[in-house]
Amino acid sequence: MSDRDDSVETIQRELTAFARRSRAAAARMHPELSLVSFALLAHLEDQRGCRATDLADRFLLNKSTVSRQVADLERLGLVERRPDPHDQRARILHLTARGAAALTQVSGHRRAAFRERLADWDEADLARFAAYLLRYNTSWPSADGSSRV
């Protein structure tokens, strides 16, 4: 195996470990919510609401998967559906006050955990790591085939 292959294997293994730790950390912070739920809540906050189909497109998820996730979030009182002002038949998902509070709490815990874990990294290493992550994540294709984060 070449050095490049070894590096790709290491990256794959370490990103998988990172994803597992992230899921476990999310479960500890809010046992009723999955990591996917937090991602959906964060997107709803960033967009100030959107349709469920937009969530499916954004995260490359099946519409039935998003439907189940949204139903769970509604049951927990974290999101609500409001009429779309441009199409009365459609509904826009929005965070409730409880959803915004849960997201703020978890985001604060996550930021603190990252700061702690990266505390001994120098500025140059942090900048390189951030640039590499941006480059890696912008290379992912969206549902329509274009690249986006």
Chain segment 80-97, per-residue pLDDT in tens: 999 998 888 899 999 999
Q: At what angle do helices 35-47 and 97-117 cross, to 10 degrees?
A: 110
- Residue that has been written with the tokens 């927990």 in this structure: 76
pLDDT of residue 41: 93
pLDDT of residue 142: 56
Low-confidence spans in the chain with pLDDT less than 50: 143, 146-149
Between the CA of residue 144 and those of 11, 32, 59, 131, what are the distances in Å? 26, 32, 12, 25
Residue 117 CA to its chain's centroid (Å)? 20
pLDDT at position 148, please?
44
**Domains, in order of start, for the chain:** 3-117 (1.10.10.10)
For the chain, state the CA radius of gyration.
18
Predicted pLDDT of residue 147: 45
Report which residue type is found at 96: T
- The CA-based dihedral angle spanning residues 26, 28, 30, 36, taken in that order and rounded to the nearest 10 degrees: 20
Helix axes 63-75, 52-59, angle to 10 degrees: 120
Summarised one tens digit per residue, pLDDT across range 116-126 is 999 999 999 99
